[in-house]
Chain A
Amino acid sequence: MSLPYRYYDVRRVTGEVTQIDIDNGVIEAAGTSFTDLALIRVLGPVGWGVLSVNGDRIPGDTLPLSLLKEALLAAKITNGAISIIEGKCRVLSVPKPKEDPRDTDLGEKTEILLEMERHAKLPDIVNTRVNYVERTGTVTFFNSSDNRFTYDICRCGFGILAVASRNGVTQIGYERRHTIDGLNIRHQQDLALQAGTIARDLLEAQPAKGGIAHAVLDPELAGVFAHEAVGHAAEGDLVQEGSSVFAGRIGERVGSPVISITDDPTLHNFGFCPVDDEGRETKRTGIIRSGVLSAYLHSMESMAALGEDTGILGHARGMAGEVPIVRMSNTFIENGDADYDEIIRECRNGILLKGSRGGQVDPGRGVFQFNAEYGYLIQDGECTTMVRDVSLSGDILGTLHQVMLCGNDQKLHAGFCGKNGQTAAVSDGAPHILLKDAVIGGSSLD
């Protein structure tokens, strides 16, 4: 009996997660957990059927008939016709880590982290905390088109928090580094010192004033801008469902000619994907080219719905046991030709925003918000007073036109992005950029 499916794929992820938590010099937890989950997707006569099970139910690289039938049963509820474009399957090689974290035992890692944490303990610092996480995993994929592959990848990194308190004022400094390059916790004492120093300096900083002002974004915050304000709105699934202000605008000018924004899963940064989670080849994708919207990020389904000429396939990612959805990888604003001094000079009076405490976007309304760790007032072309608790919001289309200058000092920062309850490893980056008439959030008013 032939079963009524048009396509299926199976993705099994087996791996270990090692975590260390040191709080004020006390080793709170150090241990390893184990995961083995499989996701079976089948495209039935109408829509998708998805079955999530423990990985040990997938023996080797064949899909048991009973699981295929169960997934098809789940698809019976669908009434929205789905098509897909399969594209090409190609797996890039995963770079070998410089120092494989698995070669260093848990005890030694803990000692290194304890030593790192001590460097954040400056006067006025009342709490320090270091977290380390290491995820090693093997991804096994096969589908009904006879594509099959297996690869291993390890992502690891740490965060260090310092809390400063004096006269009833409490502030935080936080630094983190995550990578696919291998163990990265050695010789990070300066970073710990930086977390402590920022927390202390913020005790003296002034609350930011809210209102409209010119803003210079440092590479980390400008990277969050690229991710939140542009990357999410370019995700093909959101465009497909009508939840993006970029819908129907391919080829249109959406921003200043100085700005180009790219998502590149092939780069060996934290968001690196050797292949996407639908088994499709990953490619550098120019989302905005000199202010013109050029490409959406696509899954097999969103490309079929929106057309092959609307973007690039290979951007679907899913957590272990979860449905792959369209995600960013390494997203960045391309270098321009302005240097940092020119950007500050050109701003003249405004605010320099540094670091990131994260952000969020409503891509349908086209509204975003993100928060800097701290900032400096820019007065007469020079950085002056430090300010704290400063954020920036705006509408995507308006703000992209307000980018006046792009610097030539691009840097990428590793982080994590949440969407539909799933977390993905990503990196964001940019050079310094100058925004005209930005909406700055702060608790005091003129």
Chain B
Amino acid sequence: MIEDLFAEAAGKADEVEVCIGEGQEIRADMRRGEITIGSASRFSGIMIRTVNDGRIGISSSDSPKRWKECLYAAIAGGNLADKQNWEGLPKDAGTLRSNTRLAFDPDLNVSSDCLKNLISGMITGSKEHDAAITSAHASLSSGTVTLANSGGLFLTEPTTHVSTSIEMIQGQSTGYEHDASWELRRIDPIAVGKTASWYASAGERGVELDTGTYDIVLSPDALSQLLDAVLVPALSGRNVHAGRSALADRIGDQICGEKIQLYDDPLDPRGSANGYWDGEGVPVRRIDLIRDGILQQFAYDLRTAYRYGKETTASAVRTGMAGSPGIGFHNLILNGPAGSVYKEDAVFIRDVVGAHTANPMSGDFSVELSSPFFIRDGELSQPIRSAMLSGNVFSLLNQVLCVSKETRTRGNMILPTVLIADQTLIGKA
């Protein structure tokens, strides 16, 4: 089919790229501790990109059989797009490839027995503390992603994915935990259930907090939400050149504490969607975005790099099985001065509500806290009923006191727990 596509496109477009994803998923959804929905899906998708005289067109469908419609829609769209400097799709995939799979687990069987094990593990863990399951899910999937272009590039990779989540409640205290990976052994469903039940149970009878300035401890969940809303878009080369990034003129500046490192490492096995190439078939490498607190570089895909005379950082990512390529990160990793983050009297924040409402330009945000606790004797102690955190994401990174050694993978980020000085909390006392 791919050969037919390239033959059809010959003479109609200078270059053609096709990404095809196909696979299967099974899933179980629980309500109040019982499985109420069992699901199966066979999914597929095709995305075609054409380049003609520097004009880029794209089209997609969930049925690869409709490749011809997509091809002509991409060409038609490209005819309307403005011309830009274009120096070609990659012709080969470089030499990075090894036999080590970075996103495929041969031990992950998409079977109902495996699904039942995940569910029963979460149930077992959930009984650790006094709370009730409101909802939970587990899913397993496997598939293949193929990327090819008319210049001769042809890449095909198998993928696997496992995902679990559980929500629990005790009184009016809720607890949530989730975990996902490409590798089955990295998921501990009992721990997932235990954690959710602990937060639901321990969060009861929270006290009000006085408005004021506090040292705070952000969990990887809370931190990932704030970084995703503000820092991630600010590091995109496209936003930088379009005037939509507060960091645009800051390369070489100290933008956060001098021991803060932020980098993208697509080959880190802790990541959930690793690979040897980016979404355009460019061999990946580690990119240092912030080194010792100094802003080093921005992320580029081919389109943005060609337009602004930069080099791609192999930062093209695709959403879903065969989405259109855009600038993003593979495994964004934050590191900092290691230390004991559970400082006396600091406020621990498990998660935040409303991070997407942050101002992506200025970095200012105000969010409601989920599962906040006062820290006493190095542990989460007194729960706080509710409070808001108001601040600025860029300033937060300037006030990091230390980070934990342990990390969690949250979406496309691998993050520690972070202790941050002097933040504004608004209480209802």
Query: What is A's interface to B at a CB cutoff of 8 Å?
Result: 23-24, 26-37, 47-56, 70-71, 73-82, 106-107, 110, 126-127, 129, 163, 165, 169-172, 207, 210-212, 237, 240-243, 245, 321, 323, 357-362, 364-371, 388-391, 393, 395, 439-445
Report chain A residues within 8 Å CB of B57: 29, 31
Q: Are B211 and A211 in contact (CB under 8 A)?
A: yes
Minimal Cβ-Cβ distance residue in A for B73: A32
Q: What is the minimal beta-carbon distance from A45 to any residue of chain B, in angstroms?
A: 12
Q: What is the minimal beta-carbon distance from B248 to any residue of chain A, in angstroms?
A: 9
Report chain B residues within 8 Å CB of A391: 354, 357, 366-367, 388, 390
Does B116 sit at the interface, judged by CB under 8 A?
Answer: yes
Q: Which of B69, B70, B388 contacts A369 (CB 8 A)?
A: B388
Q: Are B361 and A172 in contact (CB under 8 A)?
A: yes
Interchain Cβ contacts under 8 Å between A and B, 27 examples:
A30-B80, A34-B62, A51-B40, A74-B40, A77-B115, A78-B34, A80-B32, A80-B34, A80-B36, A106-B76, A127-B243, A210-B211, A210-B426, A241-B31, A241-B134, A242-B32, A242-B132, A357-B357, A361-B353, A367-B353, A368-B368, A371-B354, A389-B362, A391-B354, A391-B357, A391-B388, A441-B388
Does B346 sit at the interface, judged by CB under 8 A?
Answer: no
Q: What is the minimal beta-carbon distance from A235 to any residue of chain B, in angstroms?
A: 12
Does B359 sit at the interface, judged by CB under 8 A?
Answer: yes
Report chain B residues within 8 Å CB of A364: 134, 167, 169, 172, 174
Per the bound structure, the CA–CA distance linking A245 and B134 in Å amounts to 13
Q: Are A389 and B364 in contact (CB under 8 A)?
A: yes
Q: With A31-B57, A369-B367 known to touch, is A54 a contact of B37 (CB < 8 Å)?
A: no
Report chain B residues within 8 Å CB of A393: 353-354, 366, 368, 386, 388
Does B97 sit at the interface, judged by CB under 8 A?
Answer: no
Q: Could you say which of B2-10, B41-49, B148-156 contacts chain A?
A: B41-49
Minimal Cβ-Cβ distance residue in A for B137: A420
Does B141 sit at the interface, judged by CB under 8 A?
Answer: no
Per the bound structure, the CA–CA distance linking A25 and B213 in Å amounts to 44
Q: Are B366 and A445 in contact (CB under 8 A)?
A: no
Per the bound structure, the CA–CA distance linking A82 and B78 in Å amounts to 50
Q: Are A367 and B368 in contact (CB under 8 A)?
A: yes
Q: Are A31 and B167 in contact (CB under 8 A)?
A: no
Does B26 sit at the interface, judged by CB under 8 A?
Answer: yes
Q: Are A210 and B368 in contact (CB under 8 A)?
A: no
Q: Are B361 and A33 in contact (CB under 8 A)?
A: no
Q: Which of B73, B115, B357 contacts A370 (CB 8 A)?
A: B357
Q: What is the minimal beta-carbon distance from A56 to any residue of chain B, in angstroms?
A: 7
Report chain B residues within 8 Å CB of A129: 242, 244
Q: Are A241 and B76 in contact (CB under 8 A)?
A: no
Q: Are A77 and B386 in contact (CB under 8 A)?
A: no
A-facing mask of B339-366, CB < 8 A → 1, else 0?
0000000000000011011111110111
Contacts beyond the supplied A52-B43, A80-B35, A163-B361: 13 A-B pairs with Cβ under 8 Å: A29-B77, A31-B76, A34-B60, A51-B40, A73-B40, A77-B28, A77-B38, A77-B115, A80-B30, A170-B362, A360-B356, A362-B353, A367-B386
Report chain B residues within 8 Å CB of A75: 38
Report chain A residues within 8 Å CB of B36: 47-48, 78, 80, 82
Q: With A51-B41, A441-B390, A445-B212 known to touch, is A371 a contact of B32 (CB < 8 Å)?
A: no
Per the bound structure, the CA–CA distance linking A31 and B80 in Å amounts to 9
Q: Are B32 and A241 in contact (CB under 8 A)?
A: yes
Q: Are B59 and A33 in contact (CB under 8 A)?
A: yes
Per the bound structure, the CA–CA distance linking A52 and B24 in Å amounts to 10
Per the bound structure, the CA–CA distance linking A240 and B37 in Å amounts to 15
Q: What is the minimal beta-carbon distance from B120 to any residue of chain A, in angstroms?
A: 11
Report chain B residues within 8 Å CB of A78: 28, 34-38
Q: With A50-B38, A56-B65 known to touch, is A243 a contact of B368 (CB < 8 Å)?
A: no
Q: With A241-B135, A395-B386 known to touch, is A23 a contact of B35 (CB < 8 Å)?
A: no
Per the bound structure, the CA–CA distance linking A52 and B40 in Å amounts to 7
Q: Are A76 and B354 in contact (CB under 8 A)?
A: no
Q: What is the minimal beta-carbon distance from B298 to any residue of chain A, in angstroms?
A: 16
Does B91 sit at the interface, judged by CB under 8 A?
Answer: no
Q: Are B39 and A243 in contact (CB under 8 A)?
A: no
Does B392 sit at the interface, judged by CB under 8 A?
Answer: yes
Per the bound structure, the CA–CA distance linking A48 and B390 in Å amounts to 43
Q: What is the minimal beta-carbon distance from B370 to any residue of chain A, in angstroms?
A: 6
Report chain B residues within 8 Å CB of A388: 359, 364
Query: What is B's interface to A at a CB cutoff of 8 Å?
Result: 26, 28, 30-44, 56-63, 65-66, 69-70, 73-74, 76-78, 80-82, 84, 112, 115-116, 132, 134-135, 167, 169, 172-174, 211-213, 242-244, 246, 353-354, 356-362, 364-368, 370, 386, 388, 390-392, 424, 426, 428
Q: With A366-B172, A369-B354 known to touch, is A389 a contact of B63 (CB < 8 Å)?
A: no
Minimal Cβ-Cβ distance residue in A for B32: A241
Per the bound structure, the CA–CA distance linking A357 and B356 in Å amounts to 8
Q: Which of A70, A77, A370, A443 contacts B354 (CB 8 A)?
A: A370
Q: What is the minimal beta-carbon distance from B142 to any residue of chain A, in angstroms?
A: 16
Q: Which of B58, B73, B80, B426 contacts A439 (CB 8 A)?
A: B426
Q: Are B40 and A170 in contact (CB under 8 A)?
A: no
Per the bound structure, the CA–CA distance linking A424 and B153 in Å amounts to 38
Q: What is the minimal beta-carbon distance from A252 to any residue of chain B, in angstroms?
A: 16
Q: Are B74 and A31 in contact (CB under 8 A)?
A: yes
Minimal Cβ-Cβ distance residue in A for B391: A443
Report chain B residues within 8 Å CB of A55: 63
Q: Which of A29, A81, A367, A445 contacts B211 (CB 8 A)?
A: A445
Q: Which of B38, B73, B386 contacts A74 (CB 8 A)?
A: B38
Per the bound structure, the CA–CA distance linking A362 and B66 in Å amounts to 41
Report chain B residues within 8 Å CB of A56: 63, 65
Per the bound structure, the CA–CA distance linking A440 and B243 in Å amounts to 30
Q: What is the minimal beta-carbon distance from A63 to any residue of chain B, in angstroms?
A: 15
Per the bound structure, the CA–CA distance linking A420 and B11 in Å amounts to 45
Minimal Cβ-Cβ distance residue in B for A24: B242
Q: Which of B38, B78, B212, B370 contacts A47 (CB 8 A)?
A: B38
Q: With A31-B74, A439-B426 known to touch, is A70 a contact of B35 (CB < 8 Å)?
A: no
Q: Are A210 and B356 in contact (CB under 8 A)?
A: no
Report chain A residues within 8 Å CB of B172: 245, 364-366
Q: What is the minimal beta-carbon distance from B45 to any residue of chain A, in angstroms?
A: 10
Report chain A residues within 8 Å CB of B244: 127, 129, 163
Per the bound structure, the CA–CA distance linking A393 and B426 in Å amounts to 10
Minimal Cβ-Cβ distance residue in B for A110: B80
Report chain B residues within 8 Å CB of A35: 61-62
Report chain A residues within 8 Å CB of B242: 23-24, 127, 129
Q: Are B362 and A31 in contact (CB under 8 A)?
A: no
Minimal Cβ-Cβ distance residue in B for A398: B428
Minimal Cβ-Cβ distance residue in B for A49: B38
Per the bound structure, the CA–CA distance linking A444 and B60 in Å amounts to 47
Report chain B residues within 8 Å CB of A359: 354, 357
Q: Which of A172, A240, A365, A442 contacts B366 (CB 8 A)?
A: A442
Per the bound structure, the CA–CA distance linking A439 and B353 in Å amounts to 14
Per the bound structure, the CA–CA distance linking A53 and B39 in Å amounts to 11
Q: With A170-B362, A360-B353, A443-B391 known to touch, is A74 a contact of B80 (CB < 8 Å)?
A: no
Q: What is the minimal beta-carbon distance from A124 to any residue of chain B, in angstroms?
A: 11
Per the bound structure, the CA–CA distance linking A207 and B392 in Å amounts to 11
3 closest residue pairs by CB, A with B? A441-B366, A31-B77, A80-B34
Minimal Cβ-Cβ distance residue in B for A106: B80
Q: Are A365 and B30 in contact (CB under 8 A)?
A: no
Q: Are B42 and A53 in contact (CB under 8 A)?
A: yes
Q: What is the minimal beta-carbon distance from B309 to any residue of chain A, in angstroms?
A: 16
Minimal Cβ-Cβ distance residue in B for A224: B357
